[in-house]
């Protein structure tokens, strides 16, 4: 028998999901039938839509589930563990590398990273290698969103909506508006959903402490646990200097290289939109991460024996706030999950049609959109199956994916800043980073080689050295392409 409370929660959530589908439907009606319009929204995103597309698609289950879970386990230092470098380096990267990506996309009509690097280095298969790597690292990240949907549905409905059904609902809704509206559908729904989860987090940030006696009382309750050990966690492994620095670098480089963000850098209407987004982005990150971490931190004293820390935010909301708020909480958390999931699946489908079918089979525009939509369905089915088979920590899953993305940063960005770089150096950097991170993960390389850092740091250092050696040991890149890009980038950062 389903209780009236659970019916109310499910009803509010269903209404929210229908609104999201409605926004996606409106976007779909504004979307044309051309490849450029469906995949890139005609490169027409304004500052608000671009900010939402970049920010909302970055604020995933890692923020709504993983960050509170890490704060629950490790203390409020979880804030710096993720955003200490990211919040400040991302705007810098956006106005340097991102600016150049936007210029190249606009000048040559590129849609994917593979098209850019193949063109820059006059290569045939380098882009395909990069595309496959992006795909491999995106799959676990997609699973994070699907897992998060299953977790919050199960937790906030008291099991009425089980994990598998919650995951399926998220995929069906996201699939509904991405299938119809393409890039414009993701951008418009991201703007709406970004606003929803920001309002939700801020509301919870001020409301939950009032149920715990106020901000001071909520923090004091945590201070009483084991003589205040949770207020000073400097000695625990994640917060030691070298792992801390490693994680900051992983997130800063990895998040910038998300393929669903890389493609969206090219959707801005003008460079002014990029500039305004770069200014607003770090503010939005801090506004979201602060309540997410502190809510998990305060939850330690209220629910000290949770078996899975990832459940702390749903548990805190469910146990401390009125039942009608739980419905809005579920909607707010789902907003964060879906606003990243949509961009990821659309990007992988775009890679498949642009970098494989269009490149090697020369299909027309109509067929390309048709195959993109078909591949979307396959990704959703695979993501659902994967979420049923894995229950790894959301933070662990995301960190591994971030490392993979981060190890693609220097090989790809060398295309925009290093005139001596060539396709052989890019091949070497990409392959060494990919093999190296898996070698550490599988224990084929000993942890002693990291010198106390996470494996990412020594891999980046050796990757750069290897790329320099290979670049100067092989032929120079095509002079015409080097000149073409230098002229394009003249007088910009």
Higher pLDDT, 328 or 399: 328
Does 105 or 363 have the greater pLDDT score? 105
Q: Which residue has the tokens 């705007």?
A: 91
Given a cut of 90, whether residue 95 has pLDDT beyond it is yes
**Segment 458-485 mean pLDDT:** 95
Q: Is the pLDDT of residue 3 over 90?
A: no
Band of residue 141 on the pLDDT scale cut at 50, 70, 90: confident
Question: Among the listed ranges 54-68, 87-101, 152-166, 181-195, which one has the minimum average pLDDT value?
Answer: 54-68
| DSSP string for 402-443 | HHHHHTTHHHHHHHHH-TT--HHHHHHHHHHHHHHHHHHHTT
Q: What value does the mean pLDDT take over residues 273-293?
A: 90
Asked if 106 contacts 332 with a C-beta cutoff of 8 angstroms, the reply is no
Q: Please state, in angstroms and rounded to a whole number, the distance separating the CA atoms of residues 296 and 62.
A: 12
Q: Residue 418 has what pLDDT?
A: 95
- Provide mean pLDDT across the span 275-289: 90
User: 234 pLDDT exceeds 60?
Assistant: no
Q: What six digits make up the tokens of 175?
A: 């699939």
Task: Report how far residue 300's alpha carbon sits from residue 394's, in angstroms, rounded to the nearest whole number.
Answer: 18
Query: What is the mean pLDDT of the segment spanning 384-388?
Result: 86
Helix (H) or strand (E) holding 340: helix 323-351
Q: What CA–CA distance (Å, rounded) separates 55 from 340?
A: 9
| Alpha-carbon span 124 to 126, nearest angstrom | 6
pLDDT at residue 261, as a whole number: 92
| 298-304-305-311 Cα dihedral, nearest 10 degrees | 0
Q: What percent of the chain has pLDDT over 70?
A: 95
Report, as an integer, the average pLDDT of 458-469. 98
- CA atoms within 13 Å, Cβ hemisphere of 302: 26
| The pair of three-digit structure tokens given for residue 434, joined into one six-digit string | 């990919």
Q: Is the pLDDT of residue 269 over 90?
A: yes
The top-scoring range by mean pLDDT among 83-97, 129-143, 357-371, 431-445 is: 431-445
pLDDT of residue 394: 61
Min mean pLDDT across 59-63, 320-324, 434-438 is at: 59-63
pLDDT of residue 118: 96
pLDDT at 391: 62
Average pLDDT over residues 60-78: 81
pLDDT computed for residue 474 by the predictor: 97
Instruction: Note the pLDDT of residue 396.
Output: 67
Residue 226 pLDDT > 80: no
What is the pLDDT, as a whole number, of residue 87?
Answer: 84
Q: What domains can be seen in the chain, in order of their start residue?
A: 4-394 (1.20.1730.10)
- Among 94-98, 188-192, 433-437, which stretch is predicted with the lowest mean pLDDT? 188-192
**Would the pLDDT of 443 be above 90?**
yes
Q: SS3 for 283?
A: helix
Q: What does the pLDDT read at residue 485?
A: 93
Tokens matching residue 50: 């671009």
Q: What is the mean pLDDT of the chain?
A: 89
Q: How confident is the model at residue 392 (pLDDT cuts 50, 70, 90)?
A: low
Token pair of 146 as six digits: 């699907």
Say what the pLDDT of residue 165 is.
Answer: 94
Query: Which tokens is 475 given?
Result: 């032929």
Residue 45 forms beta bridges with which residues? 268
Please provide the DSSP assignment of 343-370 as one string: HHHHHHHHHIIIIIIHHHH---HHHHHH
Give the pLDDT band (50/70/90) at residue 113: very high
Regarding predicted confidence, which is higher, 38 or 326?
A: 38
Instruction: Indicate if the pLDDT at residue 395 is higher than 70.
Output: no
The residue among 386 and 430 whose pLDDT is bigger is 430
pLDDT confidence band for 413 (50 / 70 / 90): very high
pLDDT of 228:
64
pLDDT above 70 for 70? yes
The terminus-to-terminus CA distance of the chain in angstroms comes to 63
pLDDT band at 188, cuts 50/70/90? very high
pLDDT of residue 429: 98
Q: Which of 277-281, 425-429, 450-454 has the highest mean pLDDT?
A: 425-429
Of the candidates 273, 275, 278, 260, the one whose C-alpha atom is nearest the C-alpha of residue 111 is: 260
Tell me the per-residue pLDDT of 21-43, one tens digit each, with 9 for 90 and over: 999 999 999 988 888 999 999 99
pLDDT of the residue at 194: 86
- Distance (Å, rounded) from C-alpha 326 to C-alpha 366? 44
């Amino acid at each position: 028998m389903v209780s009236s409370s659970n019916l109310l929660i499910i009803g509010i959530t269903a209404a929210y999901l229908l609104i999201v589908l409605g926004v996606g439907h409106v976007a779909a009606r504004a979307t044309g039938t051309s490849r450029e319009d469906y995949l890139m929204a005609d490169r027409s995103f304004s500052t608000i839509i671009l900010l939402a597309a970049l920010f909302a698609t970055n604020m995933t289950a890692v923020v709504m589930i993983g960050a509170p879970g890490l704060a629950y386990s490790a203390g409020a230092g979880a804030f710096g563990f993720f955003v200490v470098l990211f919040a400040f380096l991302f705007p810098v990267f956006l106005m340097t590398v991102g600016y150049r990506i936007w210029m190249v996309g606009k000048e040559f009509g590129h849609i994917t990273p593979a098209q850019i690097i193949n063109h820059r280095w006059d290569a045939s298969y380098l882009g395909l290698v990069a595309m496959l790597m992006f795909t491999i690292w995106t799959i676990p990240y997609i699973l994070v969103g699907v897992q998060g949907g299953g977790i919050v549905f199960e937790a906030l409905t008291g099991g009425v909506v089980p994990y598998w059904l919650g995951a399926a609902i998220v995929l069906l809704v996201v699939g509904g508006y991405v299938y119809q509206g393409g890039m414009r559908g993701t951008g418009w729904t991201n703007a709406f959903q970004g606003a929803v989860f920001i309002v939700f987090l801020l509301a919870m940030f001020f409301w939950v402490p009032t149920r715990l006696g106020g901000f001071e009382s909520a923090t004091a309750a945590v201070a009483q646990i084991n003589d205040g050990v949770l207020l000073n966690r400097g000695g625990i492994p994640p917060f030691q200097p070298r792992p801390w620095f490693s994680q900051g670098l992983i997130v800063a480089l990895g998040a910038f290289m998300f393929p669903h963000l890389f493609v969206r850098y090219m959707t801005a209407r003008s460079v002014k939109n990029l500039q305004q987004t770069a200014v607003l982005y770090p503010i939005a990150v801090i506004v979201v991460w602060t309540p997410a971490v502190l809510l998990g931190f305060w939850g330690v004293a209220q629910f000290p024996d949770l078996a899975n820390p990832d459940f702390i935010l749903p548990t805190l909301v469910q146990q401390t706030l009125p039942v009608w708020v739980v419905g809005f909480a579920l909607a707010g958390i789902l907003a964060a999950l879906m606003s990243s999931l949509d961009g990821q699946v659309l990007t992988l489908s775009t890679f498949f049609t642009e970098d494989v079918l269009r490149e090697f089979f020369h299909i027309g525009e109509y067929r390309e959109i048709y195959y993109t939509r078909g591949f979307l369905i396959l990704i959703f089915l695979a993501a659902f199956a994967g979420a049923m088979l894995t229950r790894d920590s959301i933070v662990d899953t995301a960190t591994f994916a971030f490392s993979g993305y981060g190890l693609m940063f220097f090989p790809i960005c060398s295309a925009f800043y290093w005139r001596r770089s060539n396709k052989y150096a890019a091949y070497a950097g990409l392959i060494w980073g990919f093999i190296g991170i898996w070698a550490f993960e599988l224990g084929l390389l000993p942890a002693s080689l990291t010198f106390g850092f996470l494996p990412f740091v020594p891999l980046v250092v050796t990757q750069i050295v290897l790329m320099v050696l290979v670049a100067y040991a092989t032929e120079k890149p095509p002079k015409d392409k080097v000149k073409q890009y230098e002229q394009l980038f003249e007088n910009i950062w």
